[in-house]
C-alpha cells in the first residue's frame, strides 16, 4: 500500500508542524482537533511558518498555495477512516491516547498505519489498545520542535511491528524530507534518553551555584556549538513538558539521573513553564530580549 493520505491527530505545536511538513511534502493531509477554534489556531501557525519560508525564497507562492490546498481540518474521527497513516500528536496522557486509538481502530481501514509522536510514553502500551492486526502496523514517529525546520525523525518499532511496515515508515520519514533514525521502544528513545539527563544536570549545576543561567547557557552554546543553551532550550520545549518526561523516564528506569530536581518541580508548581507562560528560566516580557529570572 502506498501512503497518499495522512491523518494528524492534534493541531498544537507538534501536530500543526507535522501536518505542515506532510502537506509541504505533497501528501493530502487532514488534521483532527476537538474544536474549530483549535484547528484555526493551529492553521494560523502554519500560515505564519509558510509565510516565513516564502519570504526567504525557500518556497514559491505556488508551493505555499499548494501546501494550503492539501490541508484540511476536522473535528470528527470519521473523516480519518480512509487515511493511509495516522500520526497522533495529542496530549501526553496514556488514557486519552489509548481511548483515541481504540476508537480509530474501529473506524480506520485495516491497512491504515498507526503512528505516535509521543516523546516518552511507551509505544507498546498504546499499541495494546488496538486489535492484533493493527498492532503489527503500529510505530512511533517522533519529530522535533520546530518540526518544519528540524531534520530528524526517530522511527520506533515495538517487538510486534511488522518488518515491512517499519521499513515503510522509514521511507515515509524520508519522503517528508527528514532524516530517519531507527530506535527501539524504550522510554525517551535516543534523543530524550541523552537530552533529559543533560537538561536536569544543567539545573543541578545552577542549584549548586557553579554558574548563572546566562553563563551556563553561554558555555554550552559557545563551548560546544549547541544552537541553544540548556535553559533557553528548556523554556522553548516547556518546563512542564520537561518535568513530565523526566518523571516518566525516572519511573521507567529508576535511575537518579532522570529524577527532576526540586527547582524544576517548584517552577512547574509556580506556573513558570517557559516561553509559553511568559516566564521560565527567563522572563519574556520583552520576547526579543529575555532576562534571566532570580531563582536560586
Ligand atoms: N517555520 C519557518 N521558519 C522558522 C520557524 C518555523 N516554525 N521557526 C524559525 N524559523 C526561521 C526564522 O524565521 C529564521 O529565519 P532567518 O534565518 O531567515 O532569519 C530561522 O528559522 C532561524 O530562526 P531564529 O533566528 O529565530 O533563531 P535560531 O537561529 O536560533 O534558529 C532554531 C531557531 C532552529 C529553533 C534553533 O535555535 C535550534 O535549532 N534550536 C534547537 C531546537 C531543538 O533542540 N529542538 C528540539 C527540542 S526537543 C524536542 O522537540 C523533542 C522532545 O521530545 C522534547
Question: Is it the case that residue 1 has pLDDT exceeding 90?
Answer: no
What's the DSSP call for residue 261? P
Residue 212 structural domain: 192-291
Instruction: Report whether residue 144 contacts ligand 1, using a CB cutoff of 6 Å.
Output: yes
Q: Is residue 157 part of a domain?
A: yes
Instruction: Report whether residue 49 contacts ligand 1, using a CB cutoff of 6 Å.
Output: yes
In whole numbers, what is the pLDDT of the chain averaged over residues?
97
pLDDT in tens, 100-130: 999 999 999 999 999 999 999 999 999 999 9
pLDDT of residue 43: 98
Place of cell 517548584: 266
Question: Is it the case that residue 9 has pLDDT exceeding 90?
Answer: yes
CATH number reported for the structural domain that contains residue 133 in this entry: 3.40.50.720
User: C-alpha grid cell for residue 189?
Assistant: 528513545
Query: Which of 150, 220, 226 to probe ligand 1 with, by most ligand atoms within 8 A of CB?
Result: 150
Instruction: Report whether residue 53 contacts ligand 1, using a CB cutoff of 6 Å.
Output: yes
Atom 16 of ligand 1: nearest residue by CA position: 56
Question: Is it the case that residue 285 has pLDDT exceeding 90?
Answer: yes
Q: Return d(Cα 6, Cα 85) in angstroms, integer.
A: 5
What's the DSSP call for residue 180? E
pLDDT in tens, 38-75: 999 999 999 999 999 999 999 999 999 999 999 999 99
The pLDDT of 258-270, averaged and rounded, is: 98
Respond yes or no: is residue 119 known to be catalytic.
Answer: yes
Q: Is residue 296 part of a domain?
A: no
Query: Structurally, how many domains does the chain consist of?
Result: 2
Angle between helices 262-269 and 239-253 (to 10 degrees): 130
Question: Is it the case that residue 10 has pLDDT exceeding 90?
Answer: yes
Respond yes or no: is residue 192 known to be catalytic.
Answer: yes
Q: Return d(Cα 117, Cα 267) in angstroms, integer.
A: 26
User: Among residues 133, 166, 184, which one ends one of the domains?
Assistant: 184
Q: Are residues 98 and 196 in the same domain?
A: no
Percentage of the chain surpassing pLDDT 90?
99
Q: Is residue 238 part of a domain?
A: yes
Q: Are residues 42 and 131 in the same domain?
A: yes
Q: Is 16 helix (H, G, I), strand (E, B) or coil?
A: helix
CB-based contact 129:102 (threshold 8 Å): yes
Q: Are residues 203 and 119 in the same domain?
A: no
User: Among residues 140, 163, 184, which one ends one of the domains?
Assistant: 184
The pLDDT of 179-207, averaged and rounded, is: 97
Q: Are residues 86 and 139 in the same domain?
A: yes
Q: Are residues 98 and 202 in the same domain?
A: no
Distance 149 CA to ligand 1 centre (A): 6
Distance 97 CA to ligand 1 centre (A): 28
pLDDT in tens, 86-102: 999 999 999 999 999 99
Question: Is it the case that residue 31 has pLDDT exceeding 90?
Answer: yes
Atom 8 of ligand 1: nearest residue by CA position: 146
Q: Could you say which of 16, 49, 119, 120 is catalytic?
A: 119
Q: Are residues 47 and 176 in the same domain?
A: yes
Q: Is the dihedral of CA 90, 15, 107, 174 positive or negative?
A: negative
Distance 148 CA to ligand 1 centre (A): 9
Q: Return d(Cα 78, Cα 48) in angstroms, integer.
A: 29
Give the gyration radius of the chain's Cα atoms. 20
Distance 94 CA to ligand 1 centre (A): 29
Instruction: Report whether residue 146 contacts ligand 1, using a CB cutoff of 6 Å.
Output: yes
Instruction: Report whether residue 56 contacts ligand 1, using a CB cutoff of 6 Å.
Output: yes
Q: Are residues 19 and 159 in the same domain?
A: yes
Q: Is residue 252 part of a domain?
A: yes
Q: Are residues 72 and 155 in the same domain?
A: yes
Q: Are residues 44 and 141 in the same domain?
A: yes
Q: Are residues 161 and 200 in the same domain?
A: no
pLDDT of residue 109: 98
pLDDT in tens, 231-256: 999 999 999 999 999 999 999 999 99
CATH number reported for the structural domain that contains residue 277 in this entry: 1.10.1040.10
pTM: 0.95
pLDDT of residue 164: 98
Atom 23 of ligand 1: nearest residue by CA position: 149
CB-based burial label for 94 (10 Å; 0-12, 13-18, 19+): middle
Q: Are residues 59 and 204 in the same domain?
A: no
Question: Is it the case that residue 220 has pLDDT exceeding 90?
Answer: yes
Question: How many C-alpha atoms does 111 have within 13 Å on its Cβ side?
Answer: 10
pLDDT of residue 110: 97
Q: Are residues 54 and 135 in the same domain?
A: yes
Respond yes or no: is residue 154 known to be catalytic.
Answer: yes
**H helix runs in the chain, sequence order:** 13-24, 36-56, 61-69, 94-107, 123-127, 132-135, 163-175, 191-207, 213-224, 230-237, 239-253, 262-269
pLDDT of residue 200: 98
User: Among residues 184, 215, 243, which one ends one of the domains?
Assistant: 184
Q: Which residues contact 155 (CB under 8 A, 6 or more apart)?
A: 139, 140, 141, 166, 169, 170, 173, 180, 181, 182, 183
Q: Is residue 153 part of a domain?
A: yes
Q: Could you say which of 24, 120, 122, 154 is catalytic?
A: 154
Amino acid at each position: 500500500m502506498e501512503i497518499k493520505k495522512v491523518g494528524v491527530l492534534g493541531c498544537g505545536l507538534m501536530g500543526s508542524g507535522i501536518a505542515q511538513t506532510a502537506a509541504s511534502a505533497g501528501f493530502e493531509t487532514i488534521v483532527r482537533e476537538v474544536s474549530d477554534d483549535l484547528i484555526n489556531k493551529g492553521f494560523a501557525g502554519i500560515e505564519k511558518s509558510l509565510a516565513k519560508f516564502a519570504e526567504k525564497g525557500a518556497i514559491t507562492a505556488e508551493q505555499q498555495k499548494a501546501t494550503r490546498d492539501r490541508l484540511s481540518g476536522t473535528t470528527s474521527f470519521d473523516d480519518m477512516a480512509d487515511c493511509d497513516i495516522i500520526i497522533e500528536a495529542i496530549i501526553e496522557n496514556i488514557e486519552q491516547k489509548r481511548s483515541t486509538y481504540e476508537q480509530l481502530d474501529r473506524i480506520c481501514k485495516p491497512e491504515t498505519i498507526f503512528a505516535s509522536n509521543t516523546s516518552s510514553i511507551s509505544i507498546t502500551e498504546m499499541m495494546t489498545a488496538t486489535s492484533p492486526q493493527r498492532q503489527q502496523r503500529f510505530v512511533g514517529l517522533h519529530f522535533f520542535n520546530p518540526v518544519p525546520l528540524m531534520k530528524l525523525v526517530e522511527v520506533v518499532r515495538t517487538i510486534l511491528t511488522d518488518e515491512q511496515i517499519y521499513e515503510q515508515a522509514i521511507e515515509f520519514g524520508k519522503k517528508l524530507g527528514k532524516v530517519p533514525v531507527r530506535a527501539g521502544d524504550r522510554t525517551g528513545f535516543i534523543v530524550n534518553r541523552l537530552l533529559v539527563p543533560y537538561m536536569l544536570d544543567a539545573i543541578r549545576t545552577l542549584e549548586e551555584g557553579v554558574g548563572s543561567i546566562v553563563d551556563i547557557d553561554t558555555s554550552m552554546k559557545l563551548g560546544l556549538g549547541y544552537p541553544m543553551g540548556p535553559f533557553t532550550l528548556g523554556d522553548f520545549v516547556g518546563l512542564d513538558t520537561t518535568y513530565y518526561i523526566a518523571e516518566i523516564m525516572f519511573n521507567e528506569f529508576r535511575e537518579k539521573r532522570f529524577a527532576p530536581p526540586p527547582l524544576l518541580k517548584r517552577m512547574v508548581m509556580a506556573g513558570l513553564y517557559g516561553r509559553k507562560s511568559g516566564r521560565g528560566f527567563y522572563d519574556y516580557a520583552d520576547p526579543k530580549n529575555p532576562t534571566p529570572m532570580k531563582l536560586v
